[in-house]
Amino acid sequence: MSRNRAPQRVFRYGFRAARLYPLALLLWVATFSGARAVAQSGGTKTGIDVLEEQQFMPLRGKRVGLITNQTGVDSAGRRTIDVLAHAEGVKLMAIFGPEHGLAGKVEDSTVANSTDEATGLTVFSLFGETPRPTPEMLANLDALVFDIQDAGVRFYTYVTTMGYAMEEAAKSHISFFVLDRPNPLGGDVIEGPMLDGDRVSFVGYFPMPVRYAMTLGELAQMFNAEKKIGADLHVIAMKNWRRNDAYDATGLRWIAPSPNLRTLDQAFLYPGVEILQAGGVSVGRGTDTPFELLGAPWIRGAELADALNDRSIAGVRFEAAQFTPRTGLYAGQLCGGVSIAIVRREVLRPMRMGMEIAGLLRRAYPAEFRAGKIVELLGSQAAVDALLGGDAPGRIVMVWGPEQDAFRTTRAKYLIYR
């Protein structure tokens, strides 16, 4: 939850009034507890839930490989692994795991092959010796099924894992199914620069903005057509999800898709904060609140917090902070920096926030902050050159507008939800 003091005051005053006026309590609860529920449309059903409603007919008679992790569960909390393993007419043959492993707990390390205890099936790692399923892994399969919760951010590696798996499924002439899930950031706000064409990599599978506002099912359709993959692609679409629904409007339980995205607030901050790490800044990994903190031994936190708050960056407030990461960058070293609190998520634009932070760090700490390195995740050399040249972050963000509009035109052809 964000540390928004205004709602805390509302709660305090609301209960005080309710002691005197019981009807006020009922109206107050209906107003504030119902604010999130309005968008739920009865609760979102993910692809695995819909597949269960279909009694697995799309997979009947098929030998299946499943790409999944700890986020692959149905609305009852059952693993997609177990659901498919017991589905009538479906033969689950193999499991594949992405970065962070099947349980989503491996951090900053490759992942080895393993065995799933419940089913006895081999779990092939797609973040180990190979990032792609090999022909040998696919030899006895009729279909690959993908069921993983994404973060809605271009450089989050699950996007690339899906793309690589689609390519290999096409080469092996087997079907590819995406059990769709919500974009946790919602599906209407596009942010960030387009990925440079020569920067396609495991953290940038396709030229698109950092925040692309599509579900994985929609992305799969776009990749298949625009990259001419030629996969026999089937998207099991969700029910009751609308484009403006963030994750907490779905009625679904939040399951951290990776070790450091523990809350939805952290997921919203992630795209703008994460780009700074390559420049030599701790983004809170190794603390209890990753992406809600950033700092380094050479940062003067109070000065940075004041400078950032003076910018009146929409949707967030900054406070001076000190922290010592247990792991990761600057492990065991006291870091000065700031904590970030979301106060109005609907107006927060994390990429604009990230560029504002980068601009201030470049000017205040030119010897320590390696601003040029943020291109590794930002993905746009022109944007980094503008930052290094002293352009205002607001100006840099405005320049992204035309390429975002071009992406919207391409994206529109593949949208499933309205």
3-state secondary structure (DSSP) of residue 336: strand
User: For 381-398, how does the pLDDT look when each residue is reduced to its tens digit (9 = 90+)?
Assistant: 999 999 999 999 999 999
Q: Is the dihedral angle over the CA atoms 30, 31, 35, 41 positive or is it negative?
A: positive
Q: How many residues does the chain have?
A: 418
DSSP 79: B
Looking at residue 408, its amino acid is R
pLDDT confidence of residue 13: 29
CA 386 – CA 193 distance, rounded (Å): 12
Residue 39 is predicted with a pLDDT of 41
d(CA 266, CA 258): 11
- In this structure, which amino acid lies at residue 357? I
Q: How far apart (Å, rounded) are the C-alpha atoms in residues 109 and 202?
A: 15
**Residue 108 confidence (pLDDT):** 87
Instruction: Tell me what pLDDT residue 18 has.
Output: 37
Take residue 98 and report the two structure tokens written for it. 């992405």
Predicted pLDDT at 398? 97
Q: How far apart are CA 362 and CA 364, in angstroms?
A: 6
Contact of 365 with 297, CB cutoff 8 Å: no
Distance separating alpha carbons of residues 227 and 198, to the nearest angstrom: 15
What is the distance between the alpha carbons of residues 125 and 143, in angstroms, rounded to a whole number? 18
For 308, the enclosing helix (H) or strand (E) is helix 301-310
**Per-residue model confidence (pLDDT) at position 22:** 40
- Please tell me the predicted confidence (pLDDT) of residue 29: 35
State both tokens at 401: 């507008």
d(CA 193, CA 314): 19
Cα dihedral value 25, 26, 28, 34, nearest 10? 150
pLDDT computed for residue 194 by the predictor? 98
Q: Which residue has the tokens 């629904």?
A: 245
Please state the pTM of the whole predicted model.
Answer: 0.89
Between CA 166 and CA 127 the distance in angstroms is 16
pLDDT, tens digit only, all 418 positions of the chain: 333 333 333 323 233 333 333 433 333 333 333 333 334 444 999 999 999 999 999 999 999 999 999 999 999 999 999 999 999 999 999 999 999 999 999 998 999 999 999 999 999 999 999 999 999 999 999 999 999 999 999 999 999 999 999 999 999 999 999 999 999 999 999 999 999 999 999 999 999 999 999 999 999 999 999 999 999 999 999 999 999 999 999 999 999 999 999 999 999 999 999 999 999 999 999 999 999 999 999 999 999 999 999 999 999 999 999 999 999 999 999 999 999 999 999 999 999 999 999 999 999 999 999 999 999 999 999 999 999 999 999 999 999 999 999 999 999 999 999 9
Looking from the CA of 72 toward its CB, the CA atoms found within 13 Å total: 26
